Amino acid sequence: MVEPMLAWVAGGQAQVGWGIADERLGDSIELVAELAAGRHGPGPWFGAVSFSGRAARFVRPEKLETVEWGQAAAARLPPAPRTMSEHWRGLVETATQRIAAGELEKVVVARVHEQPAPKSAWEAFRSLPPAARSYFLRFDGAFFGATPETLLRWSDGVVEIDALAGSAAPGGTFGEKERREHAHVVRDVERALEGYAIERPAQPLVMELPYVRHLHTPVRARAADFAPVLRRLFPTSAVAGAPREKALEFISRHEGVERDWYAGAVGRVSPGEVDLAVALRCCFVHSRIAHVFAGAGIVAGSDAQAEWEETERKMTPVLSALRGAT
């Protein structure tokens, strides 16, 4: 059996594609606006924009099927977190020092775990537990994940964005640190929607996942054109930090992770319709190595060990899927 080129899963249904009928490459997120405007044909197009925003790739498959998508078993928590690395300890300490000095309000730092690749990246993807969006792309390897976070959805003149930040263990509570982290992201989304009539709950909701829980504020607004909003929004403080430019500079100088597609935008685009998610809870399989990514938002009061354990929980669904496909 020939394994698919791509898949996009939302609401219990998957669009699964084979082959490439057409492909578009770009050096910025502007490619999404061009595809949504119909400048490259009818679509649908499936692809991603890198975290840096300097690379974008979307393809239109030769064959596309819509199928029901069964739910995999919930990811099992690892028996104990792996030992924290000294690099991570130093990274979080440096970040909190910059925050205490007033240079940053928040910065999101990431790490990557590497292990031998599974026999089939597609079978690993099939084993991921349900999420808001699941995605699979064969881009110079296999990039796949199951993300809880909608970056931007636009249809019928309505923009929907998820503010998702602030995490706790299953059954755990959210403290002042988590609520500050979430407030940064909500403000970031509201700035991107400045001038629009915004609808959102007065208080954050809680998104419950088997391996972690998140503070969640869904935001809606009417917008005839999504592109100005996306330009102001991407990348959000949920994956970068605040102030954005200073956070991006810190990440570039200190993090030591080649993010590429991780924490960028991934999704489906057709003329008049955009569905983009933040590329989280993901894995990139290349050259027989599986690279599993996770990050944590650092604010005043962050503790390196607690943030390490948060990234361990976030890696859980992908690591469970990889174990099942080995």
Please state the separation of Cα 248 from the chain's center in Å.
16
Residue 119 a catalytic site member: no
Got the DSSP string for 233-293? HSSPTTTSEESHHHHHHHIIIII----TTTTSEEEEEETTEEEEEE--SEEEEETTEEEEE
Helix (H, G, I), strand (E, B) or coil at 40: coil
Maximum CA extent, the chain: 57
Instruction: State the Cα–Cα distance between residues 36 and 326, nearest whole angstrom.
Output: 38
Q: How many CB atoms lie within 10 A of CB 220?
A: 16
Q: Which of 34, 105, 149, 314 is catalytic?
A: 149
Q: Which residues pair with 167 in a beta bridge?
A: 214
Residue 309 a catalytic site member: no
Radius of gyration of the chain (CA): 19
Q: Which of 106, 178, 307, 310 is catalytic?
A: 106
Catalytic residue IDs: 106, 149
